[in-house]
Amino acid sequence: MSAPSLNFYDLTRDELLALASRWGFPGVHAARLWSYVYLEGMEAWTEMAELPARYRGKAEAELAFHRLDTADEKHSSDGFTRKYLLALADHRQIETVLMRYTGRVTACISSQVGCAMGCVFCATGQMGFMRHLTTGEIVAQAMHIDAVLRGTHADAALAQADASSPHARHERLRNLVLMGMGEPLHNYDSVMKAIDILRDPSGLSIAGKRITLSTVGVIPGIIRLADESRPFHLAVSLHGATQAEREMLVPVAKKWPLDALMDACRYYIAKQQRRIFYEWTLIEGKNDSAENAHAVGRLLQGQLAQVNLIPLNPTAGFDGEPTGRDAAKRFQQILADYGLPSTVRQRRGIDIAAGCGQLAVAKPR
Ligand code: SAH
Ligand code: SF4
């Protein structure tokens, strides 16, 4: 018997039901298959003891669970961040991060192996583009984190934490950010299908308002998101507030210029009636001056926007240092003068290089 070629995690619920109906499954068993996996977290046919053997045999022959094996795993010293290097079937590796801030658990997942956008300070950009992830590979990352939370995947540090806090386990994944490796809007269809699967109300059911997709500013993708009314949050990585300054950090700004990007963002906000989060990596002496902050203020003034300031995580291929606390505060104050709310993202997990692409290309220290 040849190995099944279809991956369970590639299928929407409707696709699974259609497939199972072609196999002659009664509807009730087909629907149960979905709940076994996305409600009960099963990840092998052998776990589905209640599925009659004749149906299980058929499903097993056609459909496989392409889980992602952990190639490496790092836990931050503060205990809030866990970073997994996960192996794909072709032995390439991607990063998935579990972040636990103020009681909320968020999975940060990847959309590509490497990235074609080449942002100069980004470890993934420095790697170049290898390939897109499939829908199943994106879904499997979220299911990996969900399995860690449910306690079904071995995780020594979590077990230790549980000893002091017995209720820490058996929670489900509720928050998702597409801020790992890769540019999600460069892999639009696979990413959107994965989000649909993870949002499915009879499955993991992650609420749209708890999902954030971050883009470097792929204009056609932003317009498509607005037109398709996708109900999740959008973050746009800005880093420079004039065309010349942005181009130096974000080379694809040449292809998708700042003026046109702002038009697309305003279109998105008007159509969705939803704010955009702008991300700004704070790099000492490069884009963190008072003048830089005023430029952001002038650019975004009047928009339904929030700015997330992220002090740089140093990477091997870029000569730059993170902005200090005082300069970040000053930057925030200037934005506030323009009526722009902002946050400085806490640099949790910095000791495990929990920045984009940084475990896959670990910097020798
Ligand atoms: N490709 C998408 C999403 C992945 S990167 C994007 O660029 O938006 C997620 C965020 O991490 C982006 O805002 C990116 O600019 C930021 N980032 C990448 N490398 C970083 C680093 N070394 N230090 C701080 N932020 C970084
Ligand atoms: Fe790609 Fe985002 Fe890194 Fe830029 S910051 S290279 S778009 S992953």
Mean pLDDT for the stretch of residues 132-160: 83
Q: What is the pLDDT of residues 276-333, one digit of tens each?
A: 999 999 999 999 999 999 999 999 999 999 999 999 999 999 999 999 999 999 999 9
Q: Do domains 6-64 and 69-352 have the same CATH topology?
A: no
Sequence ranges of the domains in the chain: 6-64, 69-352
Which overall architecture, per CATH, does domain 69-352 show? Alpha-Beta Barrel (3.20)
- Highest-confidence range of 63-77, 157-171, 273-287, by mean pLDDT? 273-287
Q: Does ligand 1 have an atom closer than 6 angstroms to the CB of 310?
A: yes
Q: Does ligand 2 have an atom closer than 6 angstroms to the CB of 184?
A: no
Report residue 211's pLDDT band, with 50, 70 and 90 as the boundaries.
Answer: very high
Closest residue by CA, ligand 1 atom 15: 237
pLDDT of amino acid 286: 97
pTM for the full predicted model: 0.93
CATH of 6-64, one of 3.40.50.12160, 3.30.70.590, 1.10.150.530, 1.10.1740.10: 1.10.150.530
Question: What phi and psi values does residue 106 have, to the nearest 5 degrees?
Answer: -130, 140
Mean pLDDT for the stretch of residues 51-73: 93
Distances (CA, A) of 274 to 183, 232, 263: 21, 9, 15
Q: At what angle do helices 135-150 and 188-199 cross, to 10 degrees?
A: 40
Q: CB-based contacts of 231: which residues, under 8 Å, 6+ apart?
A: 208, 209
On the question of pLDDT at 212 being above 80, the answer is yes
Q: Of 362, 363, 288, 281, which is closest to residue 328 (Cα–Cα)?
A: 288
Q: What is the pLDDT of residues 88-132, one digit of tens each?
A: 999 999 999 998 876 789 999 999 999 999 999 999 999 999 999
R_g over Cα of the chain: 21
On the question of pLDDT at 159 being above 60, the answer is no
> How far apart (Å, rounded) are the C-alpha atoms in residues 254 and 268?
21
DSSP string, 128-145: -EEEEPPHHHHHHHHHHH
Q: Does ligand 1 have an atom closer than 6 angstroms to the CB of 237?
A: yes
> How far apart (Å, rounded) are the C-alpha atoms in residues 38 and 43?
9
